[in-house]
Amino acid sequence: MDIATIEQHKSRRAEQELLAKQAHDAARLLNLLGNEKRLLILCHLMMNREMRVSEIVEAIGLSQSALSQHLTKLREDGLITFRRESQTLHYRIADPRVAKLIKVVKKLYCEDVN
């Protein structure tokens, strides 16, 4: 093999490795969104920009402990973040890719919802 061929193989392998990592990241995100309650949480955060835990509990209809588990998972994966105001946590979407994806999902499935 000549040097050009070797470089092409290296370049192709690097592209394949990058694609595999991107596929892994996308699958992880889609897996998180595959849970109806987490998807609802993200949809409400998109519509309201920022919400207190009590507001999310009321909107989703989950117990605070169940909601806490979902919020922890979304936060650990970097999809959402929060700010603390005294004893109150205010959640919002942290990852702009999530916001874009939620917009697409909303357009496909929820056009009649504000």
Residues 27-56 as b/e (b if ≥16 CB within 10 A, e otherwise) read eebeebbeeeebebbbbbbbeeeebebeeb
The rounded distance, in Å, linking the Cα atoms of 90 and 39 is 18
The rounded distance, in Å, linking the Cα atoms of 45 and 91 is 7
The pLDDT confidence band at residue 114, using thresholds 50, 70 and 90, is low
The pLDDT confidence band at residue 48, using thresholds 50, 70 and 90, is very high
Per-residue model confidence (pLDDT) at position 5: 77
The rounded distance, in Å, linking the Cα atoms of 47 and 75 is 18
The rounded distance, in Å, linking the Cα atoms of 33 and 40 is 9
Give the percent of the chain with pLDDT over 70. 96
CATH no., domain 36-114: 1.10.10.10
| Cβ pair 44, 51 in contact under 8 A | yes
How many Cβ atoms sit within 10 Å of the Cβ of residue 103? Answer: 11
Per-residue pLDDT reduced to its tens digit, 72-92: 999 999 999 999 999 999 999
